[in-house]
């Protein structure tokens, strides 16, 4: 019976793209013979193409095959596979009782006793990073395994200990008992260049020591929570997981982890965990067996060009704060919904997804500085990075009191009652009682609370309507809107009078 090639598949795109982990259970496959057409005249002389043979000879011995197993119990009451249970039910119905099975008749397995048997769970790859036997691989390769076995190219097999595994980065650190083992040279993933040649070595479909080659396609793909992954067109398949991505200097620059595919097969796009990040994770796993990450307690999103223009920002970089967890590190530092975080500890936030990575790698309980854009002014905000701080869920919005006239944005607003201000932990703002026209088209609705108009904080309904009356209908306006416990900027243009 064929098995799923990847029990721990990951989602890369909800609609069309799935990123498959490359560790696999046993599968059946057959080689295919390809018909070859006429040989085309090469545009570049063959002498200019790279020769990977010496490179493979040098680094190949440090690449290992990883085999995982699990223990299954059998022989006890209700034990046995589905086929055995179905057979017992058949015998009970047609013969009035269950016939004994060979296992039950065995004198070595008393009635009611349970026995354990070890079965293969999956295969993957890895590579040795130290002569005393530390091995890097993927977390999903060893996830759920009862036993892990590491086999070298010289056919020596070791029982490995899982020092630790981090699912967020898909990195695992293993240890085998040995000395003077072949080890791979660690490279610098920050120095890779798009277009440079790389090779992958691993065990696709349990075919160990398989070498494939290609180029780096992109350096930082946002496919991971804490990692920008390396994209390449190196052919990798189930079983390649955990194997090294190697440059032409024989240095490992990444750990092959995922493929992007529409069919489940290799489609020319594969992803690797940058080795710099993997080594940092590996060091934490070696010291404590787990990874500790920083957290400041904010929900963030991208800054649109329209919002950036409305707020006077020079570009649409940074991370827009939509929610601040009560009592969290950011809350204690004075961060507010609508703030745009431009830098963290001096590092620019080019994309909003950069912030979780920078915060995650920061020292827990250490001090950091954030550069924040608020009300048209750039300021420095100190923050003490926390590890875990669960926020409380805000209560539902209260019913709006007094309703004022509709303004040029199609909004009817009123002052926020004192009780609701206390509930939402805000000092000012207006609540939306009704939305029509451009406001309704932009998604505003009754119960929303408007905290800011462009770079001006909203105090009350009278001031808000006065600000709206002065808006230029030719320019886009940004409203900071809070709904429940989150806030985000909404771009719209006032109706011309």
Interatomic CA distance for residues 53 and 329, integer angstroms: 53
Across the strands, what pairs with 78?
none
What does the alpha-carbon distance between residue 494 and residue 468 come to, in Å, rounded to a whole number?
A: 8
| Contacting residues for 449 by C-beta, under 8 A, at least 6 apart | 397, 416, 420, 424, 426, 429, 430, 431, 432, 481, 482, 483
| Cα–Cα–Cα angle for 108, 112, 114, rounded to 5 degrees | 70
Cα 486 off chain centre by: 22
Cα 237 to Cα 28: distance, rounded to the nearest angstrom: 14
Question: Over 56-122, what HEC string results?
Answer: HHHHHHHEEEEEEEEEEEECCCCCCCHHHHHHHHHHHHHHCCCCCCHHHHCCCCCCCCCEEEEEEEE
Q: In Å, what is the CA distance from 456 to each residue of 182, 206, 312, 411?
A: 63, 62, 12, 18
Q: How far is CA 200 from the centre of its chain?
A: 22
- Distance between CA atoms of 273 and 252, rounded to whole angstroms? 11
Catalytic residue among 232, 241, 270, 322: 241
Return d(Cα 67, Cα 479) in angstroms, integer.
Answer: 56
Residue 60, token pair as written in the block: 């190949």
User: What's the rounded Cα separation, in Å, for the pair 130 and 79?
Assistant: 43
Q: Phi then psi for 93, rounded to 5 degrees? A: -70, -40
> Residues with Cβ < 8 Å from 86, sequence gap 6 or more?
none
CA 192, CA 195: separation in Å to the nearest integer? Answer: 9
Residue-wise DSSP of 255-321:
EEEEEEESSSS--S-EEEEEHHHHHHHHHHHHHHSS----B--EEEEPPPHHHHHHHT-SSS-SEEE
Residue of 143, 166, 170, 331 marked catalytic: 170
Whether 140 is a known active-site residue: answer yes
Residues 6+ away with beta carbon under 8 Å from 438: 409, 410, 492, 493, 494, 495
Active-site option among 18, 137, 140, 397: 140
Pairwise CA distance, residues 366 & 351, whole Å: 24
Residues paired with 340 in a beta bridge: 320, 373
> Which residues neighbour 225 within 8 Å (Cβ) at sequence distance 6 or greater?
168, 356
CA distances from 257 to 113, 251, 271 (A): 41, 17, 6
Element (H, E) at 461: helix 461-469
- Please identify every residue annotated as catalytic: 140, 170, 241
């Amino acid at each position: 019976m064929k098995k799923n090639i990847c029990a721990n598949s990951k989602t890369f795109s909800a609609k069309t793209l799935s990123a498959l982990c490359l560790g696999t259970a046993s599968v059946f496959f057959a080689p295919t013979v390809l018909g070859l057409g006429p040989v085309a005249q090469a545009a570049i002389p063959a002498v200019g193409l790279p020769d990977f043979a010496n490179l493979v000879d040098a680094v190949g011995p440090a690449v290992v095959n990883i085999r995982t197993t699990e223990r299954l119990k059998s022989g006890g009451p209700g034990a046995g596979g589905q086929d055995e249970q179905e057979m017992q039910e058949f015998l009970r119905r047609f013969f009035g009782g269950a016939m004994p099975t060979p296992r039950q008749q065995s004198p070595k397995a008393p009635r009611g006793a349970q026995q354990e048997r070890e079965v293969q769970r999956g295969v993957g790859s890895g590579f040795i990073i130290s002569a005393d036997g530390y091995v890097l691989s993927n977390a999903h390769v060893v996830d759920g395994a009862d036993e892990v076995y590491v086999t070298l190219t010289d056919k020596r097999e070791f029982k490995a200990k899982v020092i630790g595994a981090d699912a967020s980065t898909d990195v695992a650190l293993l240890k085998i008992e040995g000395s003077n083992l072949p080890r791979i040279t660690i490279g610098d993933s920050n120095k890779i260049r798009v277009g440079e040649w790389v090779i992958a070595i691993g065990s696709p479909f349990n075919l160990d020591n398989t070498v494939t080659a290609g180029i780096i396609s992109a350096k930082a793909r946002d496919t991971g929570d804490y990692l920008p992954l390396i994209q390449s067109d190196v052919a990798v398949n189930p079983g390649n997981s955990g194997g090294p991505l190697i440059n032409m200097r024989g240095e490992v620059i990444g750990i092959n982890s995922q493929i992007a595919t529409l069919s489940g097969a290799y489609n020319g796009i594969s992803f690797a965990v940058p080795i710099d990040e993997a080594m940092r994770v590996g060091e934490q796993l070696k010291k404590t067996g787990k990874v500790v990450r920083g957290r400041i307690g904010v929900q963030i999103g991208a800054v649109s060009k329209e919002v950036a223009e409305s707020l006077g920002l020079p570009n649409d970089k940074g991370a827009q704060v939509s929610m601040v967890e009560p009592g969290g590190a950011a809350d204690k530092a004075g961060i507010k919904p609508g703030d745009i975080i431009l830098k963290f500890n001096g590092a620019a936030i080019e994309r909003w997804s950069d912030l979780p990575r920078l915060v995650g790698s920061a020292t827990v309980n250490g001090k950091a500085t954030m550069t924040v854009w608020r009300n048209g002014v750039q300021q420095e905000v100190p923050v003490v990075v926390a590890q875990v701080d669960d926020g409380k869920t805000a209560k539902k919005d209260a019913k709006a009191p007094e309703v004022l006239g509709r303004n040029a944005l199609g909004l009817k607003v009123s002052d926020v009652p004192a009780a609701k201000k206390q509930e939402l932990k805000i000092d000012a703002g207006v609540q939306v009682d009704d939305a029509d026209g451009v406001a309704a088209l932009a998604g505003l609705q009754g119960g929303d609370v408007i905290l800011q108009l462009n770079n001006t904080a909203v105090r009350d309904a009278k001031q808000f309507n006065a600000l709206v009356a002065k808006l230029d209908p030719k320019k886009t306006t940004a409203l900071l809107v809070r709904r429940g416990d989150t806030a985000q900027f909404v771009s719209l243009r006032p109706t011309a009078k």
